[in-house]
Amino acid sequence: MKYLYKTQGTCSSFIELDVEDGVINNVSFIGGCHGNLQGICSLVKGMRVGDVLSKLEGIRCGSKTTSCPDQLCKALREMKA
């Protein structure tokens, strides 16, 4: 299932997801810190959604209440709902 998520409170503006049978096939961020986000996308590719949620949910960026990894988790939860 492909999904486009509008982020909130981060430098990135959108996250494009492709998830099938609970496994992440592909993730790409639009905007944000390109190198760091490429790394996140590479690391989560092939992972189960639940594993990504347990590792990345709640991570903050500096004084912000969220981060790009946390927004990825919000996107995954919204997509599952």
Using the predicted structure, report yes or no on whether residue 65 has a pLDDT greater than 90: yes
Distances, alpha carbon 8 to alpha carbons 25, 29, 45, 65, 69, in Å: 23, 13, 23, 10, 12
Contacts of 51-55 with CB under 8 Å at 24 or more apart are 52/24, 52/76, 53/77
Q: Is residue 75 within 8 Å of residue 13, measured between CB atoms? A: no
What confidence score (pLDDT) does residue 81 get?
85
pLDDT digits (tens, 9 = 90+) for 19-54: 999 999 999 999 999 999 999 999 999 999 999 999
Within 10 angstroms of residue 56's Cβ, the number of other Cβ atoms is: 20
- Give which of 71, 43, 46 is closest to 57, Cα–Cα: 71
pTM: 0.96
| Residue extents of the structural domains in the chain | 2-80
- Give which of 8, 7, 10, 1 is closest to 61, Cα–Cα: 10
